[in-house]
Amino acid sequence: MPALNWSDEFNLGVAAMDAVHREFVALLAEVENADDARLAPLWQRLVEHTQGHFDAEDRYMAAARFFAAHCHTTHHQMVLRVMRDALEKSDPAHIRQLARELAVWFARHAETMDAALAGHLLQVGFDPASGAIARPELMPAEQPVH
């Protein structure tokens, strides 16, 4: 049985994020239920999905000037680094342990960092499909690049 099952409690109100999160949970369950022969290819698929998932959120944060973008993006980078490292090691026991830990991480990440991002996107009226902002006056001022 997977360590993480989809729950409507994970819904954040941003359809694009919710759909990708549902896919992530489903792919993670496939990894957890896989035999050793299928484990590495499924893990690779999860890594690729997660890269796209994080890239999309990173684009949303940049477009909507999310106040905690740097912290959130750094979190994404660290998780991907660990996932890729497990893929390179190709040790089934290591991948299975990481999958269990990823389930715990995802639940916390979704209810904290992703919930804050979704709230901001909803507040400024961000449309993930077009990148349009309905209420740009509610966005924070642009920060100078350092």
Is the pLDDT reported for residue 112 higher than 90?
yes
Per-residue pLDDT averaged across 86-113, rounded? 95
Give residue limits of the domains in the chain. 14-138
CA distance 120 to 118: 5
Phi, psi of 65 (to 5 degrees): 55, 50
Q: How far is CA 119 from the centre of its chain?
A: 15
Per-residue pLDDT averaged across 58-84, rounded? 96
Superfamily (CATH) of domain 14-138: Hemerythrin-like (1.20.120.50)
Is the pLDDT reported for residue 2 higher than 90?
no
| Residues above pLDDT 70, as percent of the chain | 97
| Residues above pLDDT 90, as percent of the chain | 91
pLDDT of res. 72 = 96
pLDDT band with cut points at 50, 70 and 90 for residue 145: low
Is the pLDDT reported for residue 60 higher than 60?
yes
pLDDT digits (tens, 9 = 90+) for 15-25: 999 999 999 99
Count the Cβ atoms, other than its own, within 10 Å of residue 136. 12
CA distance 17 to 23: 10
Is the pLDDT reported for residue 142 higher than 90?
no
